[in-house]
Amino acid sequence: MPSLKLGLLAVACATLLVGCGPRTRFIQVLANVRDAAPGAAWPREMRILKTAVLPYVGAGDTLVVAPIGDHAYTDAPVADVTLERSSAFGANPLQSTLRNQALLRGLFATVERRLEADRSSGHTEIIAATMAAMDRFNGEPNASKILILDSTGYEQSSLVNMADVHQQLDPRSIALLIASIRRANELPSLSGVRVCVAGISSGEGGWAVERRVLAIRAFWRAFFRAAGARLVSYGTTPTGCLS
């Protein structure tokens, strides 16, 4: 009887792929639309998506790419795919790998085209985009959750305008901003989510001095800490979340 049960379990695992393999990863990438990533920021962010994100998405992963623009909360994702897993009764590992690679190549071209065509007034509502990401994560309670911010990190919204030199980002001001965001019910709940922020730069034309760049990093660290997430890395690549 025990051997029969084990045999049935093996068939169930191979056929359904539910609860028997590695935990499913639910990966969300928040990427600027073209109008919100002027100058050198756009090609840099697209290069990060192509070379530092997509190659690390594997079999069984669900990948969502959502735009950051001036209506980031209501915008639908520009991509939402689940990569194929091999199974005893379906594709073998080589077949599924080749199909997944082809899917990701076509996916990048589609994402780049849609993000470039999306019109925006130049607002960069990253906070609103994280609220939408929270809603999608809530629909995947059993997955390992990863959030990648493929953006320079410059929030330009009614909540926080980092392009305004008068926007103070010292520790006390950051604490007040986080409290204000919380009161406005705009602080997402991202408990258990691993976050990587990539695409960091000094802005178009290098306008942001080092002190400002460091202050912006301090804001996002405080923001994701308040949201309950784990900020794994803050830099030019997100491999800390995906490797």
Q: Domain residues for 77? A: 21-242
191 part of a folded domain: yes
Could you read off the pLDDT of 211-225 as tens digits, one per residue? 778 888 999 999 999
Number of domains in the chain: 1
The pLDDT, as a whole number, for residue 6 is 37
204 part of a folded domain: yes
Give the CATH number of the domain where residue 215 resides: 3.40.50
What parts of the chain have a pLDDT lower than 50? Answer: 2-20
18, 136 contact by CB (below 8 A): no
The pLDDT, as a whole number, for residue 20 is 46
The pLDDT, as a whole number, for residue 63 is 96
57 part of a folded domain: yes
The pLDDT, as a whole number, for residue 13 is 40
User: What is the chain's Cα-based Rg?
Assistant: 20
CA dihedral defined by 63, 61, 220, 179, rounded to 10 degrees?
90
6 part of a folded domain: no
109 part of a folded domain: yes
Query: How much is the pTM?
Result: 0.86
| Tokens linked to 142 | 């059993």
The pLDDT, as a whole number, for residue 3 is 47
115 part of a folded domain: yes
196 part of a folded domain: yes
16 part of a folded domain: no
Inter-CA distances, 21 with 17, 85, 88, 143, 194, Å: 7, 10, 13, 12, 21
Task: Give the distance, in angstroms, between the CA of residue 230 and the centroid of all CA atoms in the same chain.
Answer: 13
Could you read off the pLDDT of 197-206 as tens digits, one per residue? 997 765 555 5
Among residues 99, 102, 67, 72, the alpha carbon closest in space to that of 86 is found at 99
Q: In whole angstroms, give the CA distance from residue 78 to residue 148.
A: 15
The pLDDT, as a whole number, for residue 203 is 56
Q: In whole angstroms, give the CA distance from residue 108 to residue 92.
A: 25
